[in-house]
Amino acid sequence: MDSNKLCELVVQALEDVKAKDIVTLDVRDMTSVTDYMIIASGTSNRHVKALADAVANKAREAGQRPVGIEGEGGSEWVLIDLQDALVHVMLPRVREFYNLEKLWSIRPSGDVLAKNG
């Protein structure tokens, strides 16, 4: 599955379980680790876990096994590594504290990428 289709699949899985504030960042020009960072919020620890499970299950159904899933124990921030997409599902206060959108949207020249999602 190409990274664009994988990104669409992740966003759809998050929307299906009512994720909040979904942001997709194209980081291909910034790192070789992944193509996309997808960041979303859940309303509670249980919701964060449900969102992460939905993404992992939808990816598996499409033949894309997660390389790793971290943070399920506390479910304040769950990271799903799908190789071409890294998915961060967080509680709003955790997301605000780490501000990954800003970190990953600043290019070396200082330009900021547009948010979408």
**Digits of tens for pLDDT over the chain (117 positions)?**
899 999 999 999 999 999 999 999 999 888 889 999 999 999 999 999 999 999 999 999 999 999 999 998 888 999 999 999 999 999 999 999 999 988 877 666 555 555 554
Predicted pLDDT of residue 29: 85
The neighbour count for residue 8, using CB atoms within 10 Å, is 14
Cα separation, 75 vs 49, in Å, equals 6
User: For residue 109, what are its two tokens?
Assistant: 């020249």
Instruction: Give me the pLDDT at residue 106, please.
Output: 67
Which CATH architecture group holds 3-105? 2-Layer Sandwich (3.30)
* Per-residue confidence (pLDDT) for residue 114, from 0 to 100: 54
Residue that has been written with the tokens 């194209």 in this structure:
26
Closest listed residue to residue 83, CA positions, set 102, 67, 96, 97: 67
Residue in the block written with tokens 């033949």? 63
DSSP letter, residue 106:
B
Instruction: Say if CB 39 and CB 90 are below 8 A apart.
Output: yes
pLDDT value at position 73?
A: 87
pTM: 0.87
Domain boundaries, the chain: 3-105
Distance CA 31, CA 65 (A): 22
Q: Measured at the alpha carbon of residue 10, what is the angle toward residues 4 and 15, in degrees to the nearest 5?
A: 125
The pLDDT of residue 117: 47
Helix axes 45-61, 3-16, angle to 10 degrees: 140
